[in-house]
């Protein structure tokens, strides 16, 4: 579209958080104007890191990304089903790999997060770490295939 600019990065999608490589897609009519500002915002980016990302894009089969999306979707579904059984309120991510959940009588404090580790064997992060709007919530990352086990443990603990 002529009025849409897309900006994003590869830190999470390529699991290279330290690289801080981003990109922007502009309508053709705005590319020249964007180039005049590029040098003002593109500072301290490592050329080898940029090259590594370029080569990764070239070498990665597009099916990889579809499989990664399917894997994440499955993890989200598995985990949120367990959260339903635990009676939790939660957010359903749309493209992210984490879920924010709120459990009755268990605010998302550091003390409660530590208690969940000790008593349920599940690690999360206090919601307040990510802003005051989610003080009562706990954030869970769904990066490993062990989300089914984590979900079952939470369901058993709160259910």
Cβ atoms within 10 A of the Cβ of 85, count?
Answer: 15
Buried b (16+ CB within 10 A) or exposed e, 111-139: ebbeebeeebebebbbbbeeeeebebbbb
Task: Enumerate domains of the chain plus CATH numbers.
Answer: 6-60 (no CATH), 63-158 (3.90.1150.10)
8 A C-beta contact, residue 125 and residue 151: no
Structure tokens of 12? 């999470």
Provide CB contacts within 8 A for 98, sequence distance 6+. 139, 140, 141, 142
Q: Summarize pLDDT for 124-149 with one digit per residue, the tens.
A: 999 989 888 888 999 999 988 899 99
From the CB of residue 20, how many other CB atoms can be counted at a distance below 10 Å?
13
pLDDT at 150 over 80: yes
Q: What's residue 133's pLDDT?
A: 85
DSSP state of 133: G
If pLDDT is split at 50, 70 and 90, which confidence band does 103 have?
Answer: very high
Helix (H, G, I), strand (E, B) or coil at 88: coil
Is there a contact between 91 and 79 (Cβ–Cβ < 8 Å)? no
Q: What is the pLDDT of residues 45-65, one digit of tens each?
A: 788 999 999 999 999 998 998
> How far is the C-alpha of 64 from the C-alpha of 58, rounded, in Å?
12
Specify whether the CB–CB gap between 50 and 57 falls below 8 A: no
């Amino acid at each position: 579209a002529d009025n849409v600019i897309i900006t994003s990065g590869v830190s999470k999608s390529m699991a290279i958080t330290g690289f801080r490589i981003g990109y922007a897609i502009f309508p053709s009519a705005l590319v020249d104007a964007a180039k005049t500002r590029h040098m003002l915002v593109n500072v301290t980016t490592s050329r080898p890191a940029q090259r590594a990302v370029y080569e990764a894009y070239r070498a990665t089969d597009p099916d990889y990304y579809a499989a990664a999306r399917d894997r994440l979707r499955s993890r989200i579904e598995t985990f949120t089903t367990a959260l339903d059984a635990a009676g939790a309120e939660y957010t359903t991510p749309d493209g992210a790999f984490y879920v924010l959940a709120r459990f009755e009588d268990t605010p998302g404090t550091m003390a409660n997060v530590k208690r969940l580790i000790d008593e349920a064997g599940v690690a999360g992060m206090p919601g307040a770490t990510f802003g005051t709007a989610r003080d009562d919530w706990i954030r869970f990352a769904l990066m490993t295939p062990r989300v089914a086990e984590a979900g079952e443990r939470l369901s058993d603990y709160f259910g």
